[in-house]
Structure formats: structure tokens, C-alpha cells
Amino acid sequence: MLKFQTVERDSIFSHLDFRSKLLMMVVVSIVAFVWESPIALAALTFVVVAACLLAGVKSGYIKFIMKVMSPFYLLLLITHGFWNIEQVKSLTGKQVLTPLFAFPHSWWLIGGASMSLEGFLYGWSVIFKTLTLVMVIPLAIFTTDIDNMIVSMVRAKIPYKLTFIFSSTLRFFPLLFEEIQTIIEAQRLRGLAVEKMGPVQRVRIYAQIAVPLILGAMVRSQQLEVVLQAKAFTGSAERTYLHESLLHRSDYVVIALCILLLLLVAILYFWFDVGKYAWILFR
């Protein structure tokens, strides 16, 4: 059974209120967006991944993310390495880029294309940027109890209806996943040899799952609506909460540190070029 993942380790992150972690997520994401330097972004990724491991996020999960993202990363390196020319020229102020290698002119279509060091490194900076954004999510979400997450979201003035959609997604996602498995199983039992199929055929088959899945989801959503009505749910924000969300001293410290970090990054970036693409590498 697929369940909402939570970490088992007791760390500073599991003691923080979700609002502090939400702010941390936002600040790290802003920094990752602003920075272009592969060195700075690599350092940021390293810190976030290390924090994940420290918080108890399983290394298997991190490996899984890397595996899933790897084709996309390869594509980033190729496209930026070969074709991101004008942007890296303007970022580095160079007129001529440093070639790493080029395809012979005689080759069809790609003949003469040259991979530049600057483009290649820019590709890495985008990779670190996305990796930071992806890894900061489990750091905040997996270390938070769902109850705390929901109440914190409401306290953070996120509309209750949205919060409810979020929590019921967490509740019903495993059910949907189970249903997909059942349908695929039913198709295999009708002679569908998924294991012998090519990727195109597989996509076509998976599209067919949509029919029973959507039907099931529609039936279920109407049942859910009736259940919610019977439980006096109106979507109104005027309600009480069983769980509390309290900010402790450690939360205030984290919030202060996040704001300070954001200010520091802004000052260093705009006045001292720290984090800009050419920082250290091309000066």
C-alpha cells in the first residue's frame, strides 16, 4: 500500500512548525531561482540534500528522484551545451565561447554543432536549480505531521477549501493508485502482454485505463460529496480544529534566519555579484 511518506527520525525539522518550514521552502526556492552560478547552486543543492538526509529522508528516495530526473538532466546538458549560446555570451560577457568538442561537418543534421564549456556549465546550474526545488519539498513535507500541516496552512491564511482539497488528496491518492493497479491487472488478465510491448503501445494502453478510472473517480466524488454533507461540511472557514499549531522559540529563530538569509543573498547578489553566473568561474 502506498502511503503518505513521513520520516521516522526525530530531528530539528520534525520539531518545527509547518509555517516555519513553509517559509524556509519559499526562501530556498527564491534563492534557487535567483542564483545562476553553478558553484553557488551546487553548494545550495548539497546543503538541501544533506539536510534531507539529516532529517531522515531515505537515501533510496533521493536516488529514486535522481533516477527519474536523469533523462531530463541529460537533455538539459545537451541543449544548453550545444544551443544556449547568446544567453551565456551575455552572462559571461565573452564574444567567443570555449569549445569542449564539435561534431564533424560531414555528419547529417548535427554536423558542425559544438558544445561550449559555458553552455555545459549553465546546464549544470539549471540541474542544481531544479534539484534544489525538488529536494526542498520532502524536507518540509515529509518531516511534518499531516494534522500540523493542515492547521498551519489554515493559520497561514490559506483558504480552508484549498487546505481540505490538499488533505483529501493525501487521503484518496492511495485509493486511486490501488485502482490503477487493479485495472492494469484486469487488462493483463485479458491477455494484454504489457511486458512485451514497446513504449508507444504502452502509452496507448495506459490511455485506456482512463475510462474506468475516470468513471470510478466520478462515482466516488459524488459519494464523497454526500458523505461530506452528512458530516456538516460546508467549506466555511468558520470551524474549530482539534489540533493546534503553535510557534516555538526554534520556529522564531528559523523564521529570523530565513529572512536574514534572503537579505544577505540579495545584498551579495546585487552589490557583489555573488551567485551570478560568472561569479568565480569567468572573472
Three-state SS string over 125-149 comes to HHHHHHHHHHHHHHHHHCCCCHHHH
Comparing CB distances to other proteins, the nearer of 90 and 182 is 182
Smallest separation, CB 168 to other proteins (Å): 6
The residue (of 225 and 253) whose beta carbon lies closer to other proteins is 225
Give helix 249-272 / helix 18-34 axis angle, nearest 10°: 10
CB atoms inside a 10 Å sphere around CB 258: 19
In the complex, what is the shortest distance from the CB of residue 65 to other proteins, in angstroms, rounded to a whole number? 21
- DSSP, residue by residue, 185-200: HHHHTTT--GGG--HH
Q: Are 4 and 169 in contact (CB under 8 A)?
A: no
**Residue among 2 and 253 whose Cβ is closer to other proteins:** 2
Which of 4/270 has CB closer to other proteins?
A: 4
Those residues whose C-beta lies under 8 Å from the C-beta of residue 276, and which sit 6 or more positions away, are 35, 36, 37, 91, 269
C-alpha 283/C-alpha 281 separation (Å) is 6
Instruction: Give the shortest CB-197-to-other proteins separation in angstroms.
Output: 10
Contacting residues for 222 by C-beta, under 8 A, at least 6 apart = none
- Contacting residues toward other proteins, per CB under 8 A: 1, 3-4, 146-147, 167-168, 170-171, 174-175, 179, 182-183, 185-193, 195-196, 208-209, 211-212, 215-216, 219-220, 223-234, 236, 238-242, 244
Q: Using CA atoms, how far apart are residues 256 and 128, in angstroms rounded to an integer?
A: 26
Pick 147 or 273: Cβ nearer other proteins: 147
Q: Which is nearer to other proteins, 217 or 262 (CB)?
A: 217
Least CB distance to other proteins at residue 157 (A): 18
Nearer to other proteins, 10 or 225 (CB): 225
Q: How far is the CB of 175 from other proteins (least distance, A)?
A: 6
Q: Give least dist CB 212 to other proteins, A.
A: 5
- Give how far Cα 280 sits from Cα of 36, 63, 244, 275, Å: 12, 30, 47, 9
Residues 6+ apart with CB under 8 A from 193: none
Rounded to the nearest whole angstrom, what is the least distance from the CB of residue 153 to other proteins in the complex? 14
In the complex with other proteins, the residue whose CB is nearer, 211 or 263, is: 211
Cβ atoms of 177 and 2 within 8 Å: the answer is yes
Least Å distance, CB 61 to other proteins, is 17
